[in-house]
Structure 1
Amino acid sequence: MKNRLLKSIILGVVVMGLAWACQPPDELPIIPKISYNRVEFFDQAAGSDSLVLYINFEDGDGDIGLRSTEDSYPYHPFNYIIDADRRLVYFGETDYKLPFYSVPLVVSGGQFRPLEKEKLFSETDTRRPFNCEQYEVIKFNLDNTGTNTEIDTFFIQKNPNNNNIYVDFYRKVNGNYEFLDWASVFSTTGCGTNFNARFPIFDTDNLGKSLSGTLRYSMLSAGFGIVLKKDTFKLKVYIKDRALHDSNVIESPDLTLDNITLN
């Protein structure tokens, strides 16, 4: 269900281009710090347009970046939701005992093993009709042979630590900025894409060493020109290091596509 919905929207997938310069600054804090550099827009005649964000960064121990294959705890995509009787919560089923709890689980041979103690998720049943924010369609092995599998739709809580760069768009409407939810722009079930993603480890040899430089993050979408048009908008951005420290949040100045277009 989810894959069909994803294919129905016109937003392109998020991709990244990265450029950095490493320097040996002295006594930088281990919590990453960022500052705004600039935003550029490339209007493509065919295909997805490109909005390119440049941010300056510094980090005292250089532990920034995630490999694309790192999906194990604590960088896993989501937590499962269980009920008060520790039963997994499925889409469409109602026979559950409140409250609900959130817990990261490993599924192996049909057994679910928690990776940490569950945390209270909700005292009430907050489930809505199918949407990509609350549900995940999962195929897993019931045994260790790889042949006995089951597909089901689970109630989940997305893990923010699965990404390390977070970009929110705000559009000015009647003089006030309003959050622009890209995941819902072309999808009534929130199954579009947003622009939170990953940048990779710059250099494994620099892990544990101070780093500073400029990060170039390219976002592709056929929807920029359609949704933003002549509007004024701005971005709010922060990054996260491997130790799960959040950087400061930065804001761009007021932007329009016309003012930042390079071609």
Structure 2
Amino acid sequence: MNYMLKYSLACLLLLLALTSCRKEPNYPDEPQISFKRIERFDHDADGLQIDSVFLVIGFQDGDGNLGLSTDKASGDYDPPFNPGSPYQHNFKVRLLERVPDPNNPGEFIFQDFEFPVEGFDLSGRFPRISSDDRAEPLEGEIRFGMIFTNEAAFEPGDVIKFEVYIYDRTLPVPNKSNVIISDEITLFE
């Protein structure tokens, strides 16, 4: 019995020593993102077709300063994150639609989608990832939702994809991530 207790204690101490030596990842301070997937959920509301689309991106950030608070007293609405600023939205989305290629009949290209309302885009804010302001490496996923309807600009069978990048909270100028492009999806099918 003493024999088992002696070696069990030694194994436990060795295990604790090995797990305490875990090295933190070393990511750059500029956010790095990758496309993970698109989740699409469709439903019908009194003849109106609705697609709820969620873009899921992976992220890595060396100093953990991702996300903006929704609390206006937090300072995350102060410049450079104030309304009207290019950094107001930290999740930037460019919508691309598939259209016939005018130079190659039977072929298709992707081009910027022109919204019926000038100045409208799908960009938005995602909340702070970390609840404190400690500089620490972070890794995870951001799930960003959008809604499309067949009421105005979109029709069943429209094929779209997204170009995405994010900003962190570095001051005075936020760091921009790399740019990614999503897979294509077909609306309302």
Do both share a fold (TM > 0.5)? yes
* CA displacement at 1:28 relative to structure 2: 0.5
From 36, 57, 65, give the equivalent of 1:63: 65
Residue number in structure 1 paired with 2:109 = 176
* CA displacement at 1:71 relative to structure 2: 1.8
1:202-227 deviation line (CA, Å, top 9, x unaligned): 22236411000011111123358951
From 236, 243, 253, give the equivalent of 2:183: 253
**Contact 1:49 1:224 (C-alpha < 8 Å) held by counterparts:** no
Instruction: Provide structure 2 residue ranges, at least 5 long, that are not aligned to the other structure.
Output: 1-22, 101-107
**Contact 2:162 2:181 (C-alpha < 8 Å) held by counterparts:** yes
**Contact 2:68 2:126 (C-alpha < 8 Å) held by counterparts:** yes
% identical aligned pairs: 32
1:29-82 deviation line (CA, Å, top 9, x unaligned): 00000000111211122275311110000100000000122321111112xxxx
Mapped partners of 1:67, 1:230: distance in 2:
37
From 167, 173, 176, give the equivalent of 1:240: 167
Structure 1 counterpart SS, 2:132: helix
Query: CA distance change for structure 1 residues 252 and 209 in 2, over 3 Å: closer, same or farther?
Result: same
Mapped partners of 1:37, 1:235: distance in 2:
12
| In the alignment, structure 1 residue 163 sits paired with structure 2 residue 89 | yes
Q: TM-score scaled to structure 1, two decimals?
A: 0.52
Q: How many residue pairs end up in the alignment? A: 150
Could you say which structure has the greater relative contact order, defined with CA pairs below 8 angstroms and 6 or more residues apart?
Answer: 1
Query: CA distance change for structure 1 residues 25 and 177 in 2, over 3 Å: closer, same or farther?
Result: farther
1:72-121 deviation line (CA, Å, top 9, x unaligned): 1111112xxxxxxxxxxxxxxxxxxxxxxxxxxxxxxxxxxxxxxxxxxx
Residue number in structure 1 paired with 2:146 = 219
* CA displacement at 1:231 relative to structure 2: 2.3
**Contact 2:165 2:179 (C-alpha < 8 Å) held by counterparts:** yes
Structure 1 stretches of at least 4 aligned residues deviating more than 3 Å after TM superposition: 223-226
Query: CA distance change for structure 1 residues 44 and 25 in 2, over 3 Å: closer, same or farther?
Result: farther
| In the alignment, structure 1 residue 29 sits paired with structure 2 residue 31 | no
From 55, 75, 80, give the equivalent of 1:74: 80
Query: CA distance change for structure 1 residues 25 and 225 in 2, over 3 Å: closer, same or farther?
Result: farther
Q: TM-score scaled to structure 2, two decimals?
A: 0.71
Amino acid at match of 2:186: T
